[in-house]
Amino acid sequence: MLGVALAIPKGCADEKTETGVVYLTVLQYFCLANKNQATMMSLPSDPMMLFSFVNMKLRDEYANLDALCDDMQVDKTQLMEKLADAGFEYSTEHNKFW
């Protein structure tokens, strides 16, 4: 696996060596280095990709749309409008867009 080594202050990472060096994957490093931009970049702009991405997250990681939006710092109304413009609506019963 491709990765980078960074010196991270104590308590900022779960796994580290005795020297305090943390080994991160390139993706983890990118997210850490761009923490302020990560939320904006984490949702696809293409409606079909957004539909697929959000449904995957709802299926695998979140109990409902509110939890996803809160955790990812996404405006729920804007997300629902963007997907509605593409013809999708959210089902609370099924916890997915369709």
Tokens 């019963």 map to which residue?
93
| Confidence band, pLDDT 50/70/90 cuts, at residue 39 | very low
pLDDT in tens, 45-82: 999 999 999 999 999 999 999 999 999 999 999 999 99
pLDDT in tens, 77-88: 999 999 999 999
* CA gap 94, 98 in Å, rounded: 10
Instruction: Please give the angle made by the CA atoms of 43, 35 and 75, to the nearest 5 degrees.
Output: 40
Number of CB atoms found within 10 A of residue 51's CB: 19
* CA gap 65, 92 in Å, rounded: 8
